[in-house]
Structure 1
Amino acid sequence: MSDARTPRALVVGEALVDVTRKPGGSVAEHPGGSPLNVAVTMARQGIDTTLAAQVGDDHFGSLVRAHLDRSGVRFDGTGSSAPTASATATLDAGGAATYEFDLRWDPESLPEPADFDLVHVGSIGAWMAPGADAIADLVRRAHASGLAVGFDPNVRPALAPSVPVLRQRVFDLARLSRFVKLSDEDAEVLADGDGDPLSVLRDLAAHGPALAALTRGGASAVLRSGDQEVEVQVPEVEVADTIGAGDTWMGTLLTELLVRGWADRSSFTADELRELGQAAVTAAAITVSRPGADPPWRNELVRPHG
């Protein structure tokens, strides 16, 4: 990757509209989906980012395209004319979200990974049939070419296959990925009653990633590389809602790796893990302080390394 140009990232997976229902009956529509949120996070922080996703020619599709355009994300349609997906998020009194989905994932074509400096995949697009096979092929090709791959399974139990099938797919993708993030909820599903989230993180980290991370909501995040493991405390903020927090975390991590020139690294020191984790939790704290998935822009963040 040349220092003379802006790093290029490809993000692949679902784009949808979050229909948010709040206590009291109010309803709001916000473009979202984990891969879309990661792409928006990276673009707002200065990365030349392309999102490959299925978006229809409908009202929700117009919302998604306008949101991507405002955030500086390049959009690459996957050839499908299916209606734009949606997720209804019902918020409880504390701002935590539960989801219901209306979506499909069957991309007809995906961009060539070799044209980018980093590829990120994850969420529903990485494990929902039939499109998950296209994602797996993309990751295999990226890995074979030495390209850095980011992966966030972002498990949704209501949509996921059986736990053994899901776990196999997640671990297969993690083996070919350099940077992997789990939430504690992801880890609990993958553990299937056999082990705690930290044990899942350590098991996954031992299977190939240069860096694996576990986010735990308002509790500390854990980052691991080889035998190095650190905890990073989460800033205390007034929470509007938690939508997009984990995606902001992941997008910021990938941005930091690209900006620092660390995307080709195979290991990290404890101090480096703390720096990366601190940047990620800081950005995610901004997102949870405002409604919907609204990641911070570069000028809202302090980046002492330039």
Structure 2
Amino acid sequence: MITVCGELVIDLIPSGDPTPGAPPQYTAFPGGNALNVAVAAARLGATTHLMSRVGPGPFGALLREHAAGNGVATDAMLTAPEPVSLAVVELAEQGSASYSFHTVGAADWQWTAAELTAAWPADTRIVHIGSISSWTRPGSLAIADLVRRVRAEGTALVSFDPNVRPTLIDDDEAVRTQVTELRRVADVVKVSAEDLAWLEPGADLDEAAARWAAEGPALVVVTDGGEALRAARPGGAVLRVQPPSVTVVDTVGAGDSLAAGLFAGLARTGVLTSAQLRDLPEPELTALLDDAALVAALACTRPGADPPTLAELAAARR
């Protein structure tokens, strides 16, 4: 029911305590917005397809094996000749992650309209796009055309997460324009406070959530690390949901896990149209957001993008 379209990235995460004078050691973790969301949704019991272009070599094999091993359907993972994207991760003392990307000429940005049409899973009811592949040309143009068509046809909920990476952006205004267009044709938008600060410097989180919701989406969710997340729907008050407090190992994949938790909840409860989402009673929406925040919090308690299973989520609820 859920199709995730976007990039696959190998996250090189520091391993062990650094030794003065010795070269740093890294462990390769499968990652990237699309892969993280797809794996998290599949672990939560949702039928999930991953639409991606997969480069050659051992990293490409690792990405495929990770998706398949976590129950993600791989029929829409296309073989590509271009290399796999890499991200070198730096962890702050509190576990927050920053990234140095190596993505020039990578497979993720080369989508064509023909490839997307051929790979599209026919049973899709929720489609998620976002991050680097949604605003990096030439493939971003084909992805944008796809979701515009899906939104117009009304065959699936469209979700978008800009997940901005400023170090990879050559033309700030072009990316801001692309993000504005995509958020206005999406049914669900998830954006972090950090991304919002880059997209709209100085913007108030509550005001931005309400304004974005008035411009097209049925639901806008603004995350703010361990602070309360905001949720806004057209014409309604901004709802706040406080994430649970956990001991953070790192925040790699936390936002992706939250998005997947929300999608899995929507699929489980049968909320699969924009109208249903707009009309969902507030207590039911709050329950979905509580679950999504818990999924993200659990992902923060272990290294890398390692979201919880449905059984682990149920145990944490109890």
Same fold (TM over 0.5): yes
Paired residues of 2:163 and 2:195 also in contact (CA < 8 A): yes
Match of 1:224 in 2: 232
CA displacement at 1:143 relative to structure 2? 0.6
Match of 2:10 in 1: 17
Paired residues of 2:8 and 2:85 also in contact (CA < 8 A): yes
- 1:169-180 alignment runs, 5 A limit: 169-180=178-189
Paired residues of 1:223 and 1:273 also in contact (CA < 8 A): no
- CA-to-partner distance for each residue in 1:161-202, whole Å, 9 max, x for gaps? 5333222211211121111100011110111x2423333322
Q: Which region of structure 1 is more displaced relative to structure 2, 112-121 or 211-220?
A: 112-121
Match of 1:43 in 2: 42
Write the distance in 2 (CA, Å) between the matches of 1:102 and 1:115. 34
CA displacement at 1:266 relative to structure 2? 4.2
Paired residues of 1:188 and 1:197 also in contact (CA < 8 A): no
Task: Select the structure that is richer in helix.
Answer: 2
**AA at the equivalent of 2:57:** D
Q: Given the alignment of the two structures, is residue 168 of structure 1 paired with residue 177 of structure 2, yes or no? A: yes
Q: Given the alignment of the two structures, is residue 277 of structure 1 paired with residue 285 of structure 2, yes or no? A: no
Match of 1:253 in 2: 262
CA displacement at 1:269 relative to structure 2? 3.2
Q: Flag structure 2 segments of 5+ consecutive residues without an equivalent.
A: 19-23
Q: Flag structure 1 segments of 5+ consecutive residues without an equivalent.
A: 1-7
Residue of structure 2 aligned with 1:106, choices 110, 122, 142: 110
Q: Which region of structure 1 is more displaced relative to structure 2, 263-272 or 253-262?
A: 263-272
CA displacement at 1:236 relative to structure 2? 1.0
TM-score when scaled to structure 1?
A: 0.92
Write the distance in 1 (CA, Å) between the matches of 2:137 and 2:110. 8
- 1:101-250 alignment runs, 5 A limit: 101-103=101-103, 104=106, 105-108=109-112, 109-110=115-116, 111-112=119-120, 114-146=122-154, 147-191=156-200, 193-226=201-234, 227-250=236-259
Write the distance in 2 (CA, Å) between the matches of 1:115 and 1:139. 15
CA displacement at 1:133 relative to structure 2? 0.4
CA displacement at 1:258 relative to structure 2? 1.0
Shift in alpha-carbon separation, 1:295–1:11, aligned structure 2, 3 A: same
Write the distance in 1 (CA, Å) between the matches of 2:170 and 2:222. 22
Shift in alpha-carbon separation, 1:190–1:216, aligned structure 2, 3 A: same
Moved over 6 A (4+): none
Q: Say what the alpha-carbon RMSD is for the aligned residues.
A: 1.9
Write the distance in 1 (CA, Å) between the matches of 2:67 and 2:130. 18
Paired residues of 1:55 and 1:85 also in contact (CA < 8 A): no
TM-score when scaled to structure 2?
A: 0.88
Match of 2:21 in 1: none
CA displacement at 1:118 relative to structure 2? 1.3
Q: Which region of structure 1 is more displaced relative to structure 2, 234-243 or 294-303?
A: 294-303
CA displacement at 1:160 relative to structure 2? 2.7
**AA at the equivalent of 2:196:** A
